[in-house]
Chains A and B, each alone.
Chain A
Amino acid sequence: MKILVPVKRVVDYNVKVRVKSDQSGMDIANVKMSMNPFDEIAIEEAVRLKEAGVATEIIAISCGVAQCQETLRTAMAIGADCGILVESDAELQPLAVAKLLKAIADKEQPSLIILGKQAIDDDCNQTGQMLAALLGWPQATFASKVVVADGKVSVTREVDGGLETLSLTLPAIITTDLRLNEPRYVTLPNIMKAKKKQLDNVKPADLGVDVAPRVKTLKVVEPAQRSAGIIVPDVATLVAKLKNEAKVI
């Protein structure tokens, strides 16, 4: 079966980003960009399903600026067979991305689409669920275990208070949680091989999707800073402060 894996290019998770002084957004010029960590887990899971003989083809997709090609090459170095870049310089919000992905899914007819549960830049946690709704497919979000058998997929999900297992009919959507797997490191030979894999380029207009943003960002500010704390010399002082100063115990 065919698996689609959408991947997003985001500011590397180790980078401490700053708010622009004009409050229009984050200053991401010249910062290191990487694949969203949850998407790496998604690609890794697809590759494992291929190695287990369940999947036959893995297509990585990324929506955004031309540099998203690098993210797709990384996905191909992990093991995706080919890539599709939906190139646009516009700000793409989750609903627009879900519509673009639906258009590609309609054409490619995959059995499974695996996405990350959320992107670490906008922290939205929407795209997978929206795509499932637009396609009319079932979904299993926050997956920590995936088993495909007999036209169904059984997914263990991380929910508040523990785990729950669902069974979905295929085709279906899965979004990954952190504990699904440990993504492999890409090796140099695989990076070289990935350069030869096919990478198609389409535009949102080719897919007939209007990507105009629906949510307007009015301003972005730094969160309120906490006032500097103190280091106390011993436990007795700490308990006294908690009782008398902070009055929390």
Chain B
Amino acid sequence: MTTLVIAEHDNVSLKGSTAHTVTAAVQCGGDVHVLVAGHQCGAAAQAAAQLVGVSKVLVADAAHFADGLAENCAAQVLAIASNYSHILAPATAYGKNILPRVAAILDVAQVSEITKVISADTFERPIYAGNAISTVQSTDAVKVITVRTTGFDSAAAGGSAVVENITAVADSGQSSFVSREVAKSDRPELTAAKIIVSGGRGMGSGENFKLLEPLADKLGAAMGASRAAVDAGYVPNDWQVGQTGKIVAPSLYIAVGISGAIQHLAGMKDSKTIVAINKDPEAPIFSVADYGIVGDLFEIVPQLIAELG
């Protein structure tokens, strides 16, 4: 029994999601191999080799892997799939894009966004926007799984796996990368942050989000938003926390002016401590908050910043 993890990376560095996925892979039992399909991705492969629990890193290096196109990456996984009992990828935009293509060609079902490994073929996963937890058993020969990163700790560095180059598959020629617009941020990445300060429609405008910046700076926090704030155009959509945005589980989540719709709660209710600041005492966010303050955020946020010194 051997598990293959598809590494998410940008050719230079390995994404944190990969280390969480390795932990889930180790729990499935057996050896863990990591596939790094990219272009001039030696540094990312080295980082993968250092994750504790990984025994081998396979590197497929070709120009047409540079941008993680699903057609090419899935074909590369399929080229080596016959050696594996489990194939895992992080449940990020990257992993979700590639893995179902692999499952379909192998003619197996995919188990999406697992939060717990119960045994080599049985897993827990949330359904209905996290309103229920389903325990599912895969009856297929190969288990193809995406891993919700917040459900698993990050694998530590300090390992020393073998790095092996493998033959790259040919370019599918069906799709090509055109351009990328990266939202710039000096703050920690949302899904990896220990503390998140998140704003909702109650912020009133994009300009008012600046009010949250000193708070985030004081706490070394990432900034997030509800779908309402994103849809209103206050902040870019990659800030969105929720069922259709990012799933986060920081140690502290501060929800400011967020009512707490089901779709938002699905993205953050596994946070260790939740603080809600809202002027409506009936807001659903208070039903999940450990600490709540009822009041005007425009008064409370500056007070909070002052109090933190």
- Chain B min CB distance to A76 (Å): 26
A242 CB, min distance to chain B CBs, angstroms: 7
Assign chain A's interface to a size class.
35 or more
Q: Is A200 an interface residue (CB 8 A)?
A: no
Q: Say whether A95 contacts B104, CB under 8 Å.
A: yes
Residues of B contacting A172 in the complex (Cβ-Cβ under 8 angstroms):
174
Q: Which residue of A lies closest to B98 (CB)?
A: A129
B230 to chain A: closest residue by CB: A179
Q: Are A166 and B137 in contact (CB under 8 A)?
A: no
Q: Which of A211-225 contact B (CB under 8 A)?
A: 213-223
Contacts of B223 in A (CB 8 A): none
Cβ of B71 under 8 Å from chain A: yes
From residue A162, how far is it (CB to closest CB) to chain B in Å? 4
- Contact indicator A235/B286 (Cβ below 8 Å): no
Instruction: Indicate if the CB atoms of A120 and B70 lie closer than 8 Å.
Output: no
Among A117, A123, A177: residue with most chain B CB under 10 A? A123
Known: A142-B93, A167-B175. A216 touches B251 (CB 8 A): no
The stretch of B126-134, B152-160, B202-210 in contact with A is B126-134
A124 vs B300: C-alpha distance when bound (angstroms): 39
Give Cα distance in the complex from A238 to B175, angstroms. Answer: 52
* A131, B103: Cα distance in complex, Å: 11
CA distance A117 to B191 in the complex (A): 20
A69 at the interface (CB under 8 A from B): no
B134 adjacent to A239 (CB under 8 Å): no
What 1/0 mask marks residues of chain B from 264 to 288 whose CB sits below 8 Å from any chain A CB? 0000010011110000010000101
User: Once the chains bind, are A141 and B103 in contact (CB under 8 Å)?
Assistant: no
Q: Which secondary structure dominates where chain B touches chain A?
A: mixed
- Inter-chain contact B97/A141, CB cutoff 8 Å: yes
Q: Does B11 contact A (CB under 8 A)?
A: no
Q: Which residues of B contact A169 (CB under 8 A)?
A: 173-175
Q: Are A126 and B112 in contact (CB under 8 A)?
A: yes
Q: Does A17 contact B (CB under 8 A)?
A: yes
Smallest Cβ-Cβ distance to A230: which chain B residue: B291
Determine whether B110 belongs to the interface, using a CB cutoff of 8 Å to chain A.
Answer: yes
> Once the chains bind, are B307 and A232 in contact (CB under 8 Å)?
no
Contact between chains at B174 and A242 (CB < 8 Å): no
Residue pair A123, B243 in contact (C-beta under 8 Å): yes
Chain B, interface size category, equals 35 or more
Task: Assess the A26–B128 pair: CB atoms within 8 A.
Answer: yes
Task: Give 1 or 0 for each of A134-161: 1 = CB within 8 Å of chain B CB.
Answer: 1001111110100000000010011111
Q: Which of B30-38, B51-59, B176-184 contacts A (4 or more CB under 8 A)?
A: B176-184
Query: Would you call A108 an interface residue if the criterion is a C-beta within 8 Å of the partner chain's C-beta atoms?
Result: no
Q: In the docked arrangement, what's the CA distance between A138 and B263, Å?
A: 30
- Report if B82 contacts A (CB, 8 A): no
A residues 90-104 with Cβ under 8 Å of B?
Answer: 93-95, 98
Q: Is the CB of B138 within 8 A of A214?
A: yes
Q: B92 near A: Cβ within 8 Å?
A: yes
Provided the pairs A141-B97, A162-B238, A217-B136 are in contact, do residues A235 and B303 lie with their beta carbons within 8 angstroms?
A: yes
CA distance A118 to B79 in the complex (A): 27
Flag whether B69 is at the interface (Cβ < 8 A): yes
User: Shortest Cβ distance from B91 into chain A, in angstroms?
Assistant: 8
A168, A217, A230, A231: the one within 8 Å of B134 (CB): A217
Across the two chains, which residue of chain A brings its CB closest to B125? Answer: A123
Question: B26: CB under 8 A from chain A?
Answer: no
**Interchain CB contact under 8 A, B108 and A214:** yes
Does A162 contact B183, Cβ atoms closer than 8 Å?
A: yes
A215/B104 in contact, CB under 8 A: no
28 sampled A-B residue pairs with Cβ under 8 A: A11-B128, A17-B132, A95-B108, A120-B129, A121-B127, A121-B128, A124-B112, A130-B104, A130-B110, A131-B104, A133-B100, A133-B104, A141-B93, A158-B238, A159-B238, A165-B180, A166-B69, A168-B174, A218-B137, A223-B130, A223-B132, A223-B269, A229-B289, A231-B281, A231-B286, A235-B304, A242-B275, A249-B219
- Chain A residues close to B by CB (< 8 Å): 11, 13, 16-17, 19, 26, 93-95, 98, 117-118, 120-134, 137-142, 144, 154, 157-169, 172, 177-179, 213-223, 226, 229-232, 234-236, 238-239, 241-242, 246, 248-249
Further pairs besides A164-B67, A242-B252: 17, Cβ < 8 Å:
A26-B128, A93-B109, A95-B109, A118-B244, A124-B110, A128-B100, A130-B103, A130-B110, A137-B174, A161-B238, A163-B181, A164-B178, A217-B134, A220-B135, A223-B133, A238-B275, A238-B291
Nearest 9 A-B pairs (CB), nearest first?
A: A129-B100, A130-B104, A138-B174, A214-B109, A133-B101, A133-B104, A126-B100, A138-B175, A248-B252
Chain B residues proximal to chain A, CB less than 8 Å: 67, 69-71, 74, 92-94, 96-105, 107-113, 122, 126-140, 172-183, 191, 195, 219, 227, 231, 236-238, 243-244, 246, 251-252, 262-263, 269, 272-275, 281, 286, 288-294, 300, 303-304, 307-308
